[in-house]
Amino acid sequence: MFMNAKEMVEGLSQNPELHDARVLEAMGRVRREAFVPAQLRKMAYADRALPLEHDATISQPYVVAFMTTAACVSRGSRVLEVGTGSGYQAAVLAEMGVEVFSVEYVEELARKAFSRLEELGYGNVRVRHSDGRQGWVEEAPFDSIMVTAASEDIPPPLVEQLREGGRLVIPIGNDSQLLKVFVKTPRGLEPEAQVPVRFVPLRRVPDRG
Ligand code: SAH
């Protein structure tokens, strides 16, 4: 069992595809134990996903590292995250100096994640309670968009709200899922990479019209 973030990151750094030192350094600075339920704290630095309330899960550290690397963010980037959950992914981005806009459909999760992030000093994260399939149009365009729940399709508003040259990282599928990475070009989305993953579903929220 890993004891702290530094040891967790040392383990992750053995994977050649996790080649971005800035990502691993950021993950080494985030106290993951502050984002997992109290009774699971002793597993906070194991490389595994852990259950949260409301059927959400905090993603496996490997997957967080992979997605963050694939999103190609840098200091000052504006990033949309769909599925705030615990706020852990948002904290990793914030540690990298990213301006984070995170959307969560479950109101209680959004509220708790926001106050947790605020307490931990992550002032560069904004959290909104709304349907992430619609993106966050008032804050668009984004330099990268990361979806942390599995979707059957690519929600069109997310493509519209991504700047040209920006990356969309999104798990696609139901029972078997592929994490897909696209770059937006003048011709549309072009695939860059894909790996098998396991996420909770991105809910289709009925239009309240
Ligand atoms: N990134 C999170 C893990 C998220 S788990 C972390 O680091 O902890 C997936 C999250 O997506 C859940 O919290 C779930 O409530 C949320 N979700 C599912 N459908 C959604 C939707 N349509 N819009 C916004 N959030 C959604």
Share of the chain above pLDDT 70, in %: 98
* Binding-site residues, ligand 1, Cβ < 6 A: 54, 56-59, 82-83, 85-86, 88-89, 103-106, 109, 131-133, 148-149, 200, 202-203, 205
What percent of the chain is modeled with pLDDT above 90?
91
Instruction: Band the pLDDT of 1: cuts 50, 70, 90.
Output: low
pLDDT of residue 104: 98
Q: Are strands 125-129 and 57-58 parallel, antiparallel or unpaired?
A: unpaired
Architecture category of domain 5-197 in CATH: 3-Layer(aba) Sandwich (3.40)
Ligand 1 centre to CA of 62 (Å) is 18
Torsion angle (degrees, nearest 10) of CA 126, 130, 133, 138: -50
CA of 133, closest atom in ligand 1: 22
Q: Shortest CA distance to 5 belongs to which of 27, 20, 22, 23?
A: 27
* pLDDT attached to residue 193: 84
- Ligand 1: residue of 102, 105, 145, 169 to mutate (most ligand atoms within 8 A of CB) is 105
- Give the whole-angstrom CA distance, residue 188 versus residue 127: 28
Are the C-beta atoms of residues 86 and 41 closer than 8 Å to each other?
Answer: no
Read off the pLDDT of residues 134-178 as tens digits, 9 standing for 90 and up. Answer: 999 999 999 999 999 999 999 999 999 999 999 999 999 988 899
Angle between helices 21-29 and 61-70 (to 10 degrees): 140
| Separation of CA 6 and ligand 1 centre (Å) | 26
Asked if pLDDT for residue 2 goes beyond 70, the answer is: no
Mean pLDDT on 88-105: 98
3-state helix/strand/coil string of 35-94:
CCCHHHHHHCCCCCCEECCCCCEECCHHHHHHHHHHCCCCCCCEEEEECCCCCHHHHHHH
| pLDDT tens per residue across span 24-79 | 999 999 999 999 999 999 999 999 999 999 999 999 999 999 999 999 999 999 99
Bridging pattern class, strands 162-173 and 177-185: antiparallel
Measured in angstroms, how far is the CA atom of residue 147 from the centroid of ligand 1?
8
